[in-house]
Amino acid sequence: MEENMMAGLDQFDPTAALGFDEEYVEYVPPIEKPEDYDAPQVKEEIPAPERIEATFKGMPGNEKLLIHVIDYCRDGKDSVDVHEEIERFVGSGVCTYAPEVICANLVAAGALEMVADQDVADAADVESAELAPAAEEAPEGELEPIGAPPAFSYVATADGLAVVDAQNPEDDRIRFLEEGQRYLPVYKVVLEACASEGGATKKDIDALVDHHPLCAEPRRYSGFFVKGLEGIDAIAFDTTWKTTEIGRELLAGAAFSDNE
Amino acid sequence: MTEPTLEDVLASRVATYRLLSRLFRVEVDQECYDELLSMHFPTGTGNDKVDAGYRGIHHYLATPHPSPLTELAVDYTRTFIGGGNNGYSAAYPFESVYTSPKRLLMQGARDEVLVAYRAAGIDKQASWKDGEDHIALELEFMQVLAGRALNAVHENDEDAAAHHLAEQKAFLEDHLGGWFPMMAKDMHKFSKTEFYRGLADLTSGFLQVDQDFLDDILIDDEAAPVDAAQPLEVTL
């Protein structure tokens, strides 16, 4: 009776393709241990310059801040000062990273080093020297409470400083203007707007750029020009976009005069 | 230096189980971090793993880190949650994973510890959404039983104290002592901070020490009643 009834049903077996024993079918197959699970982990050390480059690429829009932080730590700076300097540098701008995270990323990249304050370093050295022979016969006792988080300084590494020293903003500006020759009239309009009293909002710049004949084909929007000018430090954001001293010099310079 | 009394040892066990349970339960927050900074870490306890564990945690705390709470939170996630789905991508903090062939949650081990909890009149809080065989809950269970044993000793109730200690011995043998060493090995594999590697060593070592203590004390207890005020040979 039962067999006859079964014969009339769909014989589809969803587990057949998985090759389970018909007498012992369970939904979840046994999980095999990966072959390399217990193998020694090979630590591939990526060179610091590559790590620094990857960090800069991974934090787009913060390149100048990262350069500034590394340069600020050229001779070593207390961590608290560095964090305050980052907040000061960001000012009214926007940075999605906390100062501690920016520093942690630069440390991980090998652009900064952390140096414990002398007393902490001494204590750590003594401790590690005492305890280095492992717990062979460690004297019974207690390690002193640490009390407060250890104070430390950041010092720029040679690899980090190499990135800073490779910066040449003057050359960058010349190259920028040469490559953007076609758009010099638009840059000029934007710089003049931002140089006006109170600067220019994005809406103001949109109004100038959107109907400019040079921006019709290929279509260019205000962001293209703002990003370019900000990249060469010609404008900066401070509640509105304002032309910097560098921007004013450029505006008065040969590049824009010749263009008239 | 005076030898610790039974009460001292029991109180120390409660405190250590509480600490371990807290460190496994959730990431280190500011309150916990401040407490760790103010702690005295023992050395020369007589157990290499305990010493190595305390030393690792202390060294991490004494070493500068730009953002220690963030770093520890990241390492907690990397160590206990992981990023894969093959069952071998983290030191999963559940007994079921280490005691079932398919490395699944909510297997027989969870049912067994649930029975043990309920037999002791304990249930998890409604806010706890994970399995009851989580390492933090098993350690907290030991903390509760150790606290009961301590209270019984305070009240000179030797039978109750012996009963609670026997409960702990059984739970340690049947559960924590059996599977945690495997998890400790995985913690070493996946964690990247001295803190969580130290926690693995400390917990492994402490469970060994506690197992020895319970073996000794229960044999002693069977041979002769323990006087709580008398110095004790066992140190933790």
pLDDT in tens, B34-46: 999 999 999 999 9
- The fraction of chain A above a pLDDT of 90, given in percent, is 58
HSE toward the beta carbon, residue A131, CA cutoff 13 A: 22
The pLDDT of B203-214, averaged and rounded, is: 96
Whether the per-residue pLDDT at A257 is higher than 60: the answer is yes
Q: Which of A79, A77, A120 is nearest to A103 (CA)?
A: A79
Interface test with B, best of A106, A126, A143, A154 (most B CBs within 10 A): A143
Q: Which of B76, B67, B217, B59 is nearest to B150 (CA)?
A: B217
ipTM over cut 0.85? no
By the CB < 8 Å criterion, does B185 face chain A? no
pLDDT in tens, B107-132: 889 999 999 999 999 998 899 999 99
Q: Which amino acid is at A223?
A: G
Q: Which residues contact B27 (CB under 8 A, 6 or more apart)?
A: B69, B72, B73, B76, B77
Structure confidence at residue A131 (pLDDT): 43
The pLDDT of B148-157, averaged and rounded, is: 95
CB nearest A146 (choices: B62, B101, B189)? B62
CB-CB contact of B36 with B168 (8 Å): no
CB nearest B40 (choices: A30, A124, A142)? A142
Contacts of B66 in chain A (CB under 8 A): 79, 100-101, 103-104, 107, 114
HSE toward the beta carbon, residue A16, CA cutoff 13 A: 4
Reported confidence tier of residue A1, pLDDT bands at 50, 70, 90: very low
Structure confidence at residue B232 (pLDDT): 45
Residue A200, beta-bridge partner list = A241
Structure confidence at residue A25 (pLDDT): 52
Structure confidence at residue A19 (pLDDT): 61
pLDDT in tens, A74-89: 999 999 999 999 999 9
Residue with the larger pLDDT of the pair B235 and B6: B6
Distance of CA A258 to the CA centre of its chain: 38
Asked whether the beta carbons of residue A143 and residue B66 sit closer than 8 angstroms, the reply is no
The pLDDT of A35-57, averaged and rounded, is: 88
pLDDT in tens, A153-212: 999 999 999 999 999 989 999 999 999 999 999 999 999 999 999 999 999 999 999 999
Interface test with A, best of B30, B60, B65, B99 (most A CBs within 10 A): B65
CB nearest A150 (choices: B39, B55, B63)? B63
Mean pLDDT, chain B, whole residue set: 90
Q: Tell me phi and psi for residue B120, to 5 degrees.
A: -90, 5
Q: What is the DSSP letter of B176?
A: I
**What's the pTM?**
0.79
Q: Per the structure block, which two tokens stand in for B103?
A: 């490395």
